Chain A
Amino acid sequence: MNKKLLGLVAAVGVSFGLATAAQADMLSDIKAKGKIVAATEMHYAPFDILKDGEYQGICHDLFTEVAKELGVEVEFLDLPWQSILPGLEAGKFDFVNAPVTITAERMSRYNFTLPIGNATVALAKKAGDDSISAPSDIAGKAVGSQKGSAQLEQLKAFSESLDTPADVREYVNIDEALSDLAAGRIQAVANSAPLMGYAAVQRAGLFEMVMPPFGDPKFFGWVAPGGEDSKTLVAAINDAILKMHEDGRLQAINEKWLGSNPELPTTMPDVK
């Protein structure tokens, strides 16, 4: 046993020292294996959904097409967010096909792909609540959002610009914010526009979207490990995304899930 304990201690030490395991070019490794392993949280509708035991959603459909373009099979893993970054760095899987808001701080640690979704913030309110008809009506009201998210920052900035700021409440998961909206403790929830729109469609009698989205335009990208090894992989995935822009697959998939085309940019967005 004591050996194991020492092993653990050594493992901790090693992992603090080495940010990533030494790897050659990821793209050629994946092509040689004929398979890419992608992890996500199957818990972010309409991007990632686990419905009737099956993984579905925009990210599922898009990445399945990307894998076809790369000429490899794809295996999807469901992981809670806490273990997605450790797993990516430990090389347990190759890629994160979850929608992650592209921000400067995050780009300094990991390599992002081109945008695959609209991450601009929008509000959901309780169905039939007449007191909120535009985003600015949240002045003085309690609004929930997800902790540490880029959308929370946008909400805070917007709230500060109002005459009476909103009472911004931070939740660990967006499910809990929506539960509190249903329970009546808060009057609105702020998150990415597609997510809010989907919730309003799924529970039409309970939630309703507040138009339009507000704040700076933001985008979701996918994430590869930081450093040089993943550069060619990201480039190949970007090529696939661009190709899907051109041949209409990207639009078709988005329309299937969102009922509209998010008009994503074909270049990397500027982040401060």
Chain B
Amino acid sequence: MELDLFIRYGPALLSGFGVTILCWLVGSIGGLVLGFLLACLYRFGPKALGWLIYIYVEIIRGTPFMIQLFILYYGGPYVGLVLSPMQAGILSFIIYGSPYFSEIFRSGFNAIPKGQIEAARCVGLSERRILMRIILPQMLVPTTAPLTNFFIILTKETAILSVVTVPELLYETQTMAAETFTFVEPFLVLSLFYWVLVIGTSWVGERVEARVTRHLRRV
């Protein structure tokens, strides 16, 4: 292994890592919010809307991110939609993540016995209070771990943004690999950087989980 490679390519790799973190945070939090809205509309909205959401979820979730991004970025100009790499990257990232988040939240709704909601209605709680006080606190219990999972999956999906020249981590390691004809060093860099993100995300996930499952623990 050649350590001077890390010095030579260090600044580019670090800046790539920065772009990866930025795209990941903006894209995944955007996807989370959109996914939550979709799940709520699916659950509580009119039936026709539910069908539209269902179709959206199946289409976006069922097709590869690389192809979605490719079509948006390279096909968009034919219909007058010219986006910059960063715009296309973040927009498609938000859209790509949303159906997964929406399904995770739907599984959270499923975990709550219908009887509880009926009971809450009987005692005259408003729908808003039912959502905030009864559904949300309980649905976070089974969904925190899958949400953490999906945030972790998205860290690595950022690599796909390289196909539209977003200068993220993979894009930068490709330069190092192609110019120097090495492979151990670039893969090591990729693994270490992603692992740092994953460990950080798991740590946050565990803290959140400890908080939302506090009421279940026995003293």
Contacts and interface: CB of A to CB of B under 8 A. Distances in A.
B78 A109 contact: no
B123 interface: no
B68 interface: no
12 contacts: A15-B184, A85-B181, A105-B179, A105-B181, A110-B181, A147-B178, A148-B177, A172-B171, A176-B164, A179-B74, A183-B82, A184-B77
Interface in B162-219: 162-165, 171, 174-184
B165 A149 contact: no
Interface string A104-128: 0110011000000000000000000
Interface in A160-207: 169-173, 176, 179-180, 182-185
Given A16-B184, A85-B183, A185-B82, A148 B165 contact: no
Contacts of B180: 105, 109
B119 interface: no
B1 interface: yes
Interface string A70-83: 00000000000110
B177 A82 contact: yes
A171 B167 CA distance: 10
A173 B162 CA distance: 10
Interface of B: 1, 70, 74-78, 82, 162-165, 171, 174-184
Contacts of A86: 183
A189 to B, nearest CB: 13
A147 B181 contact: no
B74 A148 contact: no
A211 to B, nearest CB: 27
Given A148-B175, A148-B178, A183-B74, A172 B183 contact: no
B74 A176 contact: yes
Nearest to B191: A12
A208 B74 CA distance: 19
A16 B187 CA distance: 12
Nearest to B180: A105
Contacts of A147: 171, 174-175, 178
Contacts of B171: 147, 172
A176 B162 CA distance: 10
A182 B1 CA distance: 41
A82 B184 CA distance: 11
Contacts of B77: 183-185
Name the residue among B82, B174, B176 with the largest chain A CB count within 10 angstroms: B174
A28 to B, nearest CB: 27
A185 B132 CA distance: 47
A15 B185 CA distance: 12
Contact of A109 (B162, B176, B182): B182
A129 to B, nearest CB: 16
Given A82-B177, A171-B165, 4 more contacts: A109-B180, A148-B174, A176-B74, A185-B77
Given A85-B181, A106-B181, A147-B174, A180 B162 contact: no
B1 A176 contact: no
A176 B181 contact: no
Contact of A169 (B76, B82, B165, B177): B165
A105 B163 CA distance: 26
A43 to B, nearest CB: 14
Contacts of A184: 77, 82
Interface in A232-266: none
